[in-house]
Amino acid sequence: MKVKSHAVLGQLGDMDLRLLRVFKAVVDCGGMAAAELELNIGVSTISRHVKDLEVRLGMTLCRRGRGGFALTAEGEQIYAETIRLLASTESFRASVDAIHRRLGGQLHVALFDKTASNPAAHIGAAIALFCDQAPDVSLHLHVAPINAIERGVIDGQFQVGVIPGHRRSDSLSYDVLFDETMLLYCGASHALFGARDTALGWDSLAAHRFAGLGYHSPNMEISQQMRMARQATAFDQEAIATLILSGRFLGFLPDHYAAPFVQAGLMRALHPALFHYECQFLTILRRSPEPSRAARVFQACLLQTHGVSQAPS
């Protein structure tokens, strides 16, 4: 498809925002056919909207054909800018709602994975409380890695995040919610499955493959501190569990998440008194611009349901 060599984009209008929302949905869904249900419009209409956007911007955003859907380099950049732009428009909408003292619009909340099975986590209760207090807010719940949640809250893609505490950013505010215990596990076919705990020490783990998270996290910190060389990389807890179940890797998992695997005899915790660490889960908001009223209400619901006293503002 040929597009103009120079963009003719002037002032953004409602149609431009509509085209950008269609483009974002196509990328998020992984293709035009997959976005059909999300957008509730036909594939031919979606394709026409994406072509219109390409002409409007003067660039090719994606390739589609037998090889499947893929973004071009320019498309990757436009997608990132689209996320920022739509987050800004939603922030403006929320500010207008706040002026009218009305809780409306959308709220995007991002959680680190596998929190639902933690008995110390009361995020479901916080959501119920929030829905009672803000019935007109459309809530969007995401699950993402720690670094993606931090970046998303800072750039406005998410308004509230819940993550394990590790390093801190001056751009974010933090409140402690609940704790989590991480234990070291091996699969039933692993050489250490029948080992006596008293025969194990940190040094004895060096001969065994370790599976760890591939981004800065408490998981990465403990592996570096104890000199456990990562020989398989994962990007969520389920991937760690899958590697452990292969019987070829050791890995840390939340004790509540691993419990069903342990009960089924598929994995065991190695020397829990020694091979463990504790995580504090935190709720995060960005400091500037000021979070929306809906974000602050949701944070207050999180603090209330986790028994945390909120400091007076």
Residue whose pair of structure tokens reads 């308004």 in the numeric block: 159
**Local confidence band at 135 (pLDDT 50, 70, 90 cut-offs):** very high
Give the mean pLDDT of 150-156: 92
Write the pLDDT tens digit of every residue in 281-293: 999 999 988 899 8
State the pLDDT at residue 313: 39
Write the pLDDT tens digit of every residue in 191-202: 999 999 999 999
Write the pLDDT tens digit of every residue in 20-45: 989 988 888 888 888 887 888 888 89
Residue 116, phi then psi, degrees to nearest 5: -65, -30
Write the pLDDT tens digit of every residue in 177-188: 999 999 999 999
State the pLDDT at residue 97: 66
Mean pLDDT across the chain:
90
State the pLDDT at residue 85: 86
Q: Where are the domains of the chain?
A: 1-102, 104-313
User: Which fold, 1-102?
Assistant: Arc Repressor Mutant, subunit A (1.10.10)
State the pLDDT at residue 312: 41
**CA dist 183 → 71, 113, 221 (Å):** 40, 16, 14
7 pLDDT exceeds 80? no
State the pLDDT at residue 32: 87
d(CA 60, CA 53): 9
* Second-level CATH architecture of 104-313: 3-Layer(aba) Sandwich (3.40)
pTM for this prediction: 0.72
Counting Cβ atoms within 10 Å, is residue 40 exposed (0-12), middle (13-18) or buried (19+)? exposed
Q: Which DSSP helix (H) or strand (E) runs through 199?
A: none
Residue 4, phi then psi, degrees to nearest 5: -65, 145
DSSP class of 206: G
CB 237 within 8 A of CB 257: yes
d(CA 174, CA 168): 8
How many Cα atoms occupy the beta-carbon half-sphere of 252 within 13 Å?
25
The proportion of the chain whose per-residue pLDDT surpasses 70, expressed as a percent, equals 92
d(CA 90, CA 160): 14
Q: Which DSSP helix (H) or strand (E) runs through 289?
A: none
Residue whose pair of structure tokens reads 């660039």 in the numeric block: 59
Tell me whether domains 1-102 and 104-313 share a fold: no
State the pLDDT at residue 9: 62
**Local confidence band at 4 (pLDDT 50, 70, 90 cut-offs):** very low
State the pLDDT at residue 33: 84
State the pLDDT at residue 98: 64
Give the mean pLDDT of 141-159: 93
Which amino acid appears at position 164 of this protein?
Answer: P
Bond into 289 cis (ω within 30): yes
d(CA 281, CA 162): 7
Query: 36: Cβ–Cβ under 8 A, 6 or more apart, which residues?
Result: 42, 43, 46
Q: How many other β-carbons are positioned within 10 Å of the β-carbon of residue 110?
A: 24
Write the pLDDT tens digit of every residue in 75-103: 999 998 988 888 778 777 766 766 656 67
273 pLDDT exceeds 90? yes
d(CA 243, CA 241): 5
3-state SS class at 313:
coil
210 pLDDT exceeds 90? yes
State the pLDDT at residue 17: 86
State the pLDDT at residue 309: 72
12 pLDDT exceeds 80? no
